[in-house]
Structure 1
């Protein structure tokens, strides 16, 4: 393995050195911090949590707005009042669950990386975990894309950035995450 996922008995496996594992873990922790904790504490009423309503407005943070976009309206075009109302209602009943899933996916990746014991090694994912990893990698890539202010036209230019560009480390991480995503997808479809 060369730092990318390979098919492994219905699941996938990847060899990560300690730096790759550390970088991936750090990015997931940063994403968790951005998404924030779940509502309430452990002592809360589970029935009340089941019927909890989420926010009705899109997040002000552009990275979170990318992870939790409006459900209605067209991107880049002003929304009409009907689209805004429908998006608000949809967000109110879905965002808490979506945030919880994204938190769970990120925590799942962190725990798997922690299982390497702080160093590198071969990480074997059962088939049931692969989709969680795909989701977590996608969330990281979307977040980095926002931080880098990327558009569809920018991707080819990323390979030509000079080493002196302060965005270079994030660009390398963005491209690496894309390669991880692609290799994981290929590994689980083989």
Structure 2
């Protein structure tokens, strides 16, 4: 991937780059895999007759058991964030209610961002040109893919920059680092520095 560049200004501003074929295919594969995880989470949401009557979509009240989805949909509040809230209130009622109310909207936003990436990827590589709004969606989707990949391979503060040759996660870590660079360069292009 080449560096992201700003072209034009005002309403004609475009954020552009060029992707090699394998880069375009890799991003498409990663975003598609993440979309499948999101679709599965959405399809297992409980049905709610009150939601049907009011039109207010309800989601899961419990966090995902899968670590990857858990990273994409963390609890809204953790006991270590507020010493005045009891652990039971945070882990049960509060997080469950917040999750049920907000997760459908968060999930839809993640799916929309992923779809923008898939729709704007050049098939077989090539030039990519994004509006600032599309670039924001790209940032969101790439961040979600990084979070999912990081959870899958167990990224932590102690994870080295490179894993030993032959480690089954070495290639995944390289992809994680590459996505970090893609995201960072896109942020720099968006802010115009």
TM-score w.r.t. structure 2 length?
0.84
Secondary structure of the residue aligned to 1:158 is: coil
Q: What residue in structure 2 maps to residue 125 of structure 1? A: 130
7-16 or 50-59: bigger deviation? 7-16
Of residues 150, 153, 156, the one that matches 2:158 is: 153
Structure 1 segments (4+ residues) deviating >2 Å: 6-11, 37-40, 47-50
CA displacement at 1:119 relative to structure 2: 1.2
Count of residue pairs brought into register by the alignment: 175
Secondary structure of the residue aligned to 2:127 is: strand
Q: What residue in structure 1 maps to residue 6 of structure 2? A: 7
In structure 1, the gaps of 5 or more residues are: 41-46
In structure 2, the gaps of 5 or more residues are: 45-50
Q: What residue in structure 2 maps to residue 80 of structure 1? A: 87
CA displacement at 1:75 relative to structure 2: 6.6
CA displacement at 1:11 relative to structure 2: 3.3
CA displacement at 1:7 relative to structure 2: 2.2
Matches within 5 A, 1:20-169: 20-36=23-39, 38=42, 48=52, 50-74=55-79, 80-84=87-91, 85-113=93-121, 116=122, 118-154=123-159, 157-159=160-162, 161-169=163-171
